[in-house]
Amino acid sequence: MPQTILVVEDEDTLREELSYQLEQDGYRVVSAADGGEALELFRKESPDLILLDLMLPVMSGIEITRVVRRESSVPILILTARDSEVDKVVGLELGADDYVTKPFSLREVQARIRGLLRRRERAGERTQPNDTEPNVVGRATVDLVGHRLLHGKEVRPIKPKAFDLLAFLARNEGQVFTRQQLLERVWGSDYPGETRTVDVHVHWLRAEIEKDPANPVLLETVRGVGYVLRSAPS
């Protein structure tokens, strides 16, 4: 069964061109011209990936990302005509997985889509036997199977990639990884982002698991190397 891509773009010609090319690549494509229609299709079709313009009528791409992330970890690839770094950063901080700035080549979009879908497939294959047991990390409990972070019985909101990073470190407790290694193992070897991305996600995680995030004792920085998740000190 072909994977489904939801294309959300209010520019008719571009939406049709993207949809046509993706169908030629073997994907099943559903498309929307505004934010309201996009959310309806997202809930109805359960797509494998969302290709999302930021500038949309009815509801912006930023708001759509916020809503989708409350309900799903589906990969989101942002399309933006803006040069502002703020828009890209906001989209990524809300949980988008990648972005492409207009004007772009179709080849670039196709490559980014393939990369995101491969990473999703690999993430699904990484489940291990001990993942059925929740991991206690500091003041949080990591439910690897349910893809949830809990404080007691309270489910904490967490960005998908932040959870993936925590899960990876929990499976490899005590092992030090460089930022580049974490990018390759969690985001994928074809991820075009910078190592600063890892630092931002570590900052979010410390706020959830450490008693004193400013003085971490669990998710430590190993100066000149990278990061390591350690057992709680006795």
Tell me the CA distances in angstroms from 73 to 34, 51, 95, 124, 180, one per residue in order: 21, 14, 8, 12, 23
Tokens of 95: 């949980």
For 169, what's the count of Cα atoms within 13 Å in the CB-facing half-sphere? 31
Residues 25-41 as b/e (b if ≥16 CB within 10 A, e otherwise) read eebebbbbbebebbbeb
Q: What is the dihedral of CA 172, 177, 180, 185, to 10 degrees?
A: -10
- The answer to whether the beta carbons of residues 165 and 201 sit under 8 Å apart is yes
Please provide residue 209's backbone torsions phi and psi, each rounded to the nearest 5 degrees.
-110, -25
Q: What CATH number has the domain spanning 130-229?
A: 1.10.10.10
Q: Is the pTM of this model over 0.75?
A: no
- Residue 9's region, left for phi above 0, alpha for psi from -120 to 50, else beta, is beta
CATH architecture for residues 4-125: 3-Layer(aba) Sandwich (3.40)
Q: What is the pLDDT along the chain (234 residues), one digit of tens a residue?
A: 789 999 999 999 999 999 999 999 999 999 999 999 999 999 999 899 999 998 899 999 999 998 888 778 788 999 887 666 667 777 777 778 888 888 888 999 999 899 888 877 765 544 444 545 567 788 888 887 677 888 888 888 888 788 889 888 888 888 899 998 898 888 876 666 677 889 989 998 999 889 899 999 999 999 888 999 987 664
Ramachandran bin of 177, using left for φ above 0, alpha for ψ from -120 to 50, beta for the remaining angles: beta
Q: Where are the domains of the chain?
A: 4-125, 130-229
